[in-house]
């Protein structure tokens, strides 16, 4: 009788262990898939933001009129990023948008001024944003 109970208990424990490990494995796979999906969405948003910000910044440096409708796409992208991104990434994106608006308000840059900006590093308004994006993913790297 004792050996039958021990065998039954062993079978129950083995079955529970198997079910528990399967559940944990599936849960981990679902979390990994969700993380990969989220990361992919953020990568697409960041790519879109970088493209929009680059075009808009160049237009602001050499503006011929005060048409700032290109800012609409930039702000729409920032708003979508607010849903998925970390606070530092959003702060840097907002800073870029403000820099672009300020650039529209300043006089056009001449070719020598653009060259000087390129060499002194002030031309790259996206650097801090890019570093914030990289820092957002640092903890996830193996």
Which tens digits make up the pLDDT trace of 106-121? 888 888 888 898 888 8
Residue 27 has pLDDT above 90, yes or no: no
- Give pLDDT, residue 139: 67
- Give pLDDT, residue 67: 65
What is the rounded CA–CA span in Å between residue 39 and residue 82?
A: 14
Q: Which residues fall within 8 angstroms of residue 57, CB to CB, at 6 or more apart?
A: 96, 99, 100, 103, 125
- Give pLDDT, residue 127: 92
Torsion angle of the four alpha carbons 38, 40, 41, 42, in this order, in degrees rounded to the nearest 10? 90
Residue 142 has pLDDT above 60, yes or no: no
- 13: burial class by Cβ within 10 Å (0-12, 13-18, 19+)? exposed
Question: What's the whole-number mean pLDDT along residues 16-28?
Answer: 87
| pTM of the shown model | 0.72
Q: How many CB atoms lie within 10 A of CB 136?
A: 17
Question: What's the whole-number mean pLDDT along residues 5-14?
Answer: 84
Torsion angle of the four alpha carbons 40, 46, 48, 49, in this order, in degrees rounded to the nearest 10? 160
Q: Angle 2-61/87-105 helices, nearest 10 degrees?
A: 10
- Give pLDDT, residue 47: 93
- Give pLDDT, residue 140: 58
Are the CB atoms for 54 and 126 separated by under 8 Å?
yes
Which tens digits make up the pLDDT trace of 28-84? 888 888 888 888 888 999 999 999 999 899 888 887 666 677 788 899 999 999 998
């Amino acid at each position: 009788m004792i050996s039958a109970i021990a065998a039954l208990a062993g079978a129950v424990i083995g079955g529970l262990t198997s079910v528990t490990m399967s559940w944990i494995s599936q849960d981990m796979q679902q979390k990994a898939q969700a993380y990969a999906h989220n990361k992919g969405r953020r990568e697409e948003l960041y790519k879109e933001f970088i493209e929009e910000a680059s075009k808009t910044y160049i237009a602001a440096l050499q503006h011929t009129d005060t048409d700032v409708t290109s800012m609409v796409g930039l702000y729409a992208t920032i708003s979508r990023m607010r849903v998925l991104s970390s606070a530092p990434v959003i702060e840097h994106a907002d800073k870029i948008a403000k820099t672009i608006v300020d650039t529209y308000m300043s006089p056009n840059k001449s070719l020598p001024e653009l060259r000087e900006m390129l060499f002194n590093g002030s031309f790259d308004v996206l650097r801090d944003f890019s570093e914030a994006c990289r820092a957002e993913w640092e903890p996830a790297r193996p």
